[in-house]
Amino acid sequence: MSDWLRRDLRLIQLGVIGELRNPVFRFIGVIAALGAGVYAWNQGSLAGTTALALAAWGGRGFALAACLWFGAGALRDQNAHLGAVLRSKPVDGARWVLLTWATGVALWLLLLAGLFLGAMLGQLPHAGLLSIAAHAVGFGRAALIMLPLATLGFALSRLTRSPLGASVIVLAFLCVLAGLQLVPAFLRPDYTQNLPLFVAVSAFLLVVTAFLAERLRRGELRRPLLPALGALVCAALAVGGGAQAQQAAQPPIDGSVDEMMTRQYLQLGRRTPGFWLPDGRGNTVRTAAYPGKILLIYLFAADDLEAARTLPALDAMSREFGAQGVQPLAICLSPDQGDGAALAWAGGFSFPVVSDRTTTKTSPPPASSLATAYATELLPALVVTDRRRRAREILSDAAYSPEQLRTLIQTRLAEEPE
């Protein structure tokens, strides 16, 4: 490790330690860990869904807090009475901006890690080692929500030399969370499919702030070519990420697979609508890939904790009756296209959990290609098919126990043993 990197890491470490001396941060860390631990304990063995819920709301809450802190912290070293000790030393302006940003990132990631550590310990007695993997995935998702927003707040505050820069980001994010319809889906920073856009935009503003604006203010702008090229690359990535996010938010195109799935319609005694969806592990799941199987097709909302209690029951049925040709298929409906993939990784299920990427809302009536095809007015919904994929049961209870599912399966097996 080079000397300059070792020195910078030491400065970041000292900065984090100095911030943690503030009793407010210690209080936030303890309360977040204890609250998450109690919440996770009450959820029992639902490690995957619990981690997903904590990632959504914990990530958003920490993003708002970190953004406000970054807005104020970005200006502290500009005050002669509150400035850094290194003000009198020949520290490059860009380097100091990046060190300040990295110190804040490390501080808030540490506090966020405490939240998920508390949840993991609270759920460990119920979920076992699965709790560790689930909350590690949840921490990663929450961090990806928090970091771009905090970086935007930091960069805008330094560019404008005012905390109003971060306040604008906070206000915009609160409007998004309040469900303001004027904000298009591809501009929501808490959706996984929009991550390339916000990472690129935040990186672009950070590069401009550190290497151009700060050096220009200090009279250090002598070799601007490399930083300018870096800013242009980030801007190009932002344009590409924005186009990708906008395309993901568009309705299905006529003739596409998603649009063809919408044309189908569920009827009792008729062949169930087929689908072709990603499972979050790099595979594509198709109903046609399970000929001669009794299918248990379960449509649910990613944020419905009550419905999520059915997933472990389906997993138990897959293990118990899989050799007899019973195949559960769970379809996760969420406007965030990463929820299904995260649940597939964090849940540790032995059956496919796929994502309907066309979902725009999950409140009644849900809006997505498969919600339309399965005539779903209310989530969750369970469809039990025979071995020729004809719908034999269409149910809409809030959750299903292993005993209820076992009764449904045994009824089907009595009529179609093979």
For position 87, what pLDDT does the model report? 45
What's the average model confidence in pLDDT over 155-184? 79
Average pLDDT over the chain reads: 83
Beta strands in 168-302, from DSSP E residues, in sequence order: 276-278, 284-286, 294-301
For position 239, what pLDDT does the model report? 56
Share of the chain above pLDDT 70, in %: 85
Confidence (pTM):
0.85
**At 180, is the secondary structure helix, strand, or coil?**
coil
Least confident of 1-10, 101-110, 145-154, 366-375: 1-10
Per-residue pLDDT band at 79 (split at 50, 70, 90) = low
CA distance 384 to 49: 24
| Residue 330 pLDDT greater than 90, yes or no | yes
For position 244, what pLDDT does the model report? 55
**Highest mean pLDDT: which of 35-39, 127-131, 170-174?**
35-39
| Residue 88 pLDDT greater than 70, yes or no | no
Half-sphere exposure of 399 (CA within 13 A, CB side): 12
pLDDT single digits (tens) 241-299: 555 555 555 555 555 666 777 788 888 889 999 888 888 777 888 888 999 999 999 99
Per-residue pLDDT band at 142 (split at 50, 70, 90) = very high
Given strand 391-395, what is the order of strands in its sheet?
353-356, 326-333, 294-301, 381-385, 391-395
Note the Cα 418 to chain centre separation in Å. 41
pLDDT single digits (tens) 288-315: 899 999 999 999 998 888 888 899 899 9
Residue 331 near residue 299, CB atoms below 8 Å: yes
What's the average model confidence in pLDDT over 334-362? 86
Q: Looking at per-residue confidence, does 229 or 47 come out higher?
A: 47
CA distances from 300 to 11, 196, 303, 337, 373 (A): 47, 27, 9, 14, 14
Tokens of 192: 């996984």
Least confident of 8-22, 90-104, 108-122: 90-104
Q: Considering the domain 257-415, what is its CATH architecture?
A: 3-Layer(aba) Sandwich (3.40)
DSSP 389: -
CA distance 141 to 320: 33
- Name the burial class of residue 182, with classes exposed (0-12), middle (13-18) and buried (19+) by CB atoms within 10 angstroms of its CB: exposed
**Residues of CATH 3.40.30.10 domain(s) within the chain?**
257-415
Measured CA angle at 54 (ends 305, 174), to 5 deg: 105
What's the average model confidence in pLDDT over 369-381? 89
Please state at what angle helix 195-207 crosses helix 225-249, rounded to 10 degrees: 160
Share of the chain above pLDDT 90, in %: 30
DSSP string, 278-300: E-SSS-EEEGGG-TT-EEEEEEE
DSSP 222: S
CA distance 276 to 271: 16
Q: Looking at per-residue confidence, does 175 or 131 come out higher?
A: 131
Strands 294-301 and 381-385: antiparallel
What's the average model confidence in pLDDT over 318-341? 90
CA distance 221 to 223: 6
Count of CB atoms situated within 10 Å of the CB of 117: 17
